[in-house]
Amino acid sequence: MKAADQISAPRLWLVLARAHRSIAAYIEGAITAQGIGISDFMVLEVLLHKGPLTISVIGEKVLLASASMTSAIDRLEIRELVRRRSCNSDRRIRLVELTCEGRKFIEEIYARHEKDLEAIATDLSEAERRTLYEGLKKIGLAAQAAEPTQKCPTTL
């Protein structure tokens, strides 16, 4: 492959960042059109797929700060989509779980969400999806393990 045909790491990063921004904006718009904010959707989605969890575990999974998590749970509880309950084995632990209405609500929205994601990935063949998946996984793991190569020089 000629040097001009090679894709540099900075170019790859730029394309990845722009693609992420475009996809995130598209998905956020589609979710908010359903009458729910993205952070509330993420909370409901994790409860749908993982079952009842503590607020701190939900926060770790959806990458929200504790104060944001409490606000999201409060909003969802007011809408009667989730409820807080004590854990049977340890009454000090408070779990958040979907209500029946909450389960129905997130199942419907999540089904639309899957269709929206499929719509933007429709032009990718199965081989392209696999290559993209494996490549993104590799660079994500490499970024987790890597140390920056340059430190800021200190000036006095």
CA angle 64, 67, 70 (to 5 degrees): 90
The pLDDT value given to residue 151: 67
- pLDDT tens, position by position, 46-98: 999 999 999 989 999 998 888 888 899 999 999 999 999 987 887 788 899 99
The pLDDT value given to residue 93: 86
- pLDDT tens, position by position, 122-144: 999 999 999 999 999 999 999 98
- Residues 106 and 44 sit within 8 Å (Cβ to Cβ): yes
Write the single-letter amino acid at 3.
A
- pLDDT tens, position by position, 101-117: 999 999 999 999 999 99
Say how far apart CA 109 and CA 97 lie, in whole Å: 17
Spell out the domains of the chain, with CATH numbers in brackets: 32-133 (1.10.10.10)
Q: Full-prediction pTM beyond 0.85?
A: no
